[in-house]
Chains A and B, each alone.
Chain A
């Protein structure tokens, strides 16, 4: 831990966990720049230190600094460069020999740097989405701003609507017209979209809905993180309305899961909800540049004529009949109506108990068919042992680190991260059976019955008494320490009970 010894004195207990190296950053910066800048430029001085420590590309950093301060008085850029050079030439003494850093650039793979909202929006573009509609709300707004800027470059449109209901309706209209569309929001906006979402399920229209979760309920804590929209995403709305729910685990995953969401929506003619959260949305990560040649896809409009068409064909394989957008000539002259009323195979209203049962089963079976194709998630750590931590969304990182630390301390702890939340992939039972205890780590409340939202879903699904929760709903992300302490506590408690 490098610290500014002009300003802080590390407490002895901190020294236990990390080795502290003091550098008089404030004083040396003033010295490098001259008295007038006062304590400005300390960040650039620290950048110089870091560049030395990690052996970063100095020329590139210097040109970035010049770029950053271009347009200002020339002395500003010069001061910044002076601070940088001073930091870079500070003698870190033995430090550089104590730690050897593996060559960072040898992998030869280009990397991109962005936050989760950007990754998700670019994923949608790569997936071929060319229409979107939304209404501003934090932290979703970044996605719609980016799409409004980028979509026209690809012949697409993003409409800012009068409200979230109009947005989801417009997106459904575009999807119905043959262009799989996206809408999105955060907390309150998802609540507003729910009636139309149910229509998408009933009418079997593909759609991608992004929900960047924030603290709830109601207006809640707009700029804090929470994972409390899972129930709404999986079950929100009246009636039985099976839909797909996915949750990316990190920034890179936002990109690829956006593509997966589009493809599932199209393949199964069903709305797909992408559950991101405030932590992933705003977290900046570097990841390998996607192979755009490979991942980018076009979604051409298919208006090829059909001899006859039943939009809700009960005999269709896996319950999925191809969606035929308007503009498709139907040669026998019987045209489809897509509808939210319970319907027969042509989309005409019915109150037949038999048809309602059959159609409800058809809508449900599509998800069951999807579940059978989902990859079984891998277990991190060990294949069996005392404790399995189950997570979803942005908690992937801290959970893994907590596993590493617990294992270093001799505990047999592992982690399972779920990215497909509804339907769940097959085969989780066997994973669960190999552990004495199961703890679902999630950023939501313990709940009336003592379980967080994913824990409740898993208990209902697997009827497994071992499933319990490690919950936190204070609007802040999990710290590794929070999880480690809970592991220690839970494992010890379990030991004493046994």
Chain B
């Protein structure tokens, strides 16, 4: 989808009543200005509420590493999510963030990306959020090829609602909703993304990954759509916990 020419940042006049006046005028950073990389300390917000050992921690660590390595500007990062354990992500990142409704983070992020091509738009999601309730949006966002990075933490189960079958649960998976084992075939998100036209799709175990797991989707280069199934590890964690 072609980018609309909507972004005219910085020099705009204030639109809403200003809060308390600033003590001294703060000049917005000049275009092309190089800044020191953001540190983990600057980027960490609330301590994650995930269970100890949850695979989502490693995705958060990689996200911090990516921001640091790419020297992204603090105010230009947007962290967007739907609903689920994995979707708690924005609270753990010290940056502009939006915690939207279950399954609809992709269209929300599309609205952000289309109106503001100057931003680095990251979307974090779970397998239920991305492929079940949001399944239609997944296909259509890939088809529209929006400039954003989509990271799915696929634990093959509904984590937040405590272990129900998800669309990526394997056949035979025993859950609270499938006491005798899941009968439906799991979907293959990677195939779906490719079939729908996602430009760059990948699948990784986070513990295999040294390099940043996701690209920021900035610039004019290829758009990125990253998928992160975390199967074996997460299942072990879950069966222990639940």
Interface membership of B29, Cβ < 8 A: yes
Q: Which of B14, B96, B112, B137 contacts A302 (CB 8 A)?
A: B14
Interface membership of A195, Cβ < 8 A: yes
Q: Which of B72-80, B168-176, B212-220 contacts A (4 or more CB under 8 A)?
A: B72-80
Query: By the criterion CB–CB under 8 Å, are A338 and B99 in contact?
Result: yes
Residues of A within 8 A of B7 (CB): 301
Q: Please tell me the size bucket of the interface on A.
A: 35 or more
Residues of A within 8 A of B75 (CB): 303, 326-330, 335
Query: By the criterion CB–CB under 8 Å, are A307 and B26 in contact?
Result: yes
Q: Which of A174, A303, A336 contacts B114 (CB 8 A)?
A: A174
Query: By the criterion CB–CB under 8 Å, are A302 and B5 in contact?
Result: no
In chain A, what residue has the closest Cβ to B101? A199
Query: By the criterion CB–CB under 8 Å, are B115 and A131 in contact?
Result: yes
Query: By the criterion CB–CB under 8 Å, are B4 and A156 in contact?
Result: yes
* In the complex, number of A-B residue pairs with CB atoms less than 8 Å apart: 195
Query: By the criterion CB–CB under 8 Å, are B28 and A304 in contact?
Result: yes
Query: By the criterion CB–CB under 8 Å, are B13 and A302 in contact?
Result: yes
Q: Please tell me the size bucket of the interface on B.
A: 35 or more
In chain A, what residue has the closest Cβ to B98? A338
Residues of A within 8 A of B22 (CB): 305-307
Interface membership of B6, Cβ < 8 A: yes
Q: Which of A4-12, A160-168, A450-458 contacts B (4 or more CB under 8 A)?
A: A160-168
Q: Which of B19, B29, B137 contacts A322 (CB 8 A)?
A: B19
In chain B, what residue has the closest Cβ to A206? B16
Interface membership of B140, Cβ < 8 A: yes
Interface membership of A299, Cβ < 8 A: yes
Q: What does the 1/0 interface line of B130-155 toward A look like (CB < 8 Å)?
A: 00000011011000000000000000
Residues of A within 8 A of B23 (CB): 307
Query: By the criterion CB–CB under 8 Å, are B107 and A165 in contact?
Result: yes
Q: What does the 1/0 interface line of A176-194 toward B look like (CB < 8 Å)?
A: 1111010000000000000
Q: A133-B111, A303-B10 are in contact. Are A329 and B98 (CB under 8 A)?
A: no
Q: Which of B17, B91, B104, B118 contacts A337 (CB 8 A)?
A: B91
Residues of B within 8 A of A181 (CB): 111, 115
Which positions in A face B, CB cutoff 8 Å?
130-131, 133, 152, 155-157, 159, 161-163, 165-167, 169-179, 181, 195-196, 199, 203, 266, 299-307, 309, 313, 316-317, 320-323, 325-331, 333-341, 347-349
Please name 17 pairs of A and B residues whose Cβ atoms are closer than 8 Å in the assembled complex, sorted by A: A133-B107, A133-B111, A166-B136, A169-B101, A177-B116, A178-B116, A179-B116, A196-B104, A199-B101, A303-B9, A305-B28, A307-B20, A326-B78, A326-B112, A327-B116, A339-B90, A348-B45
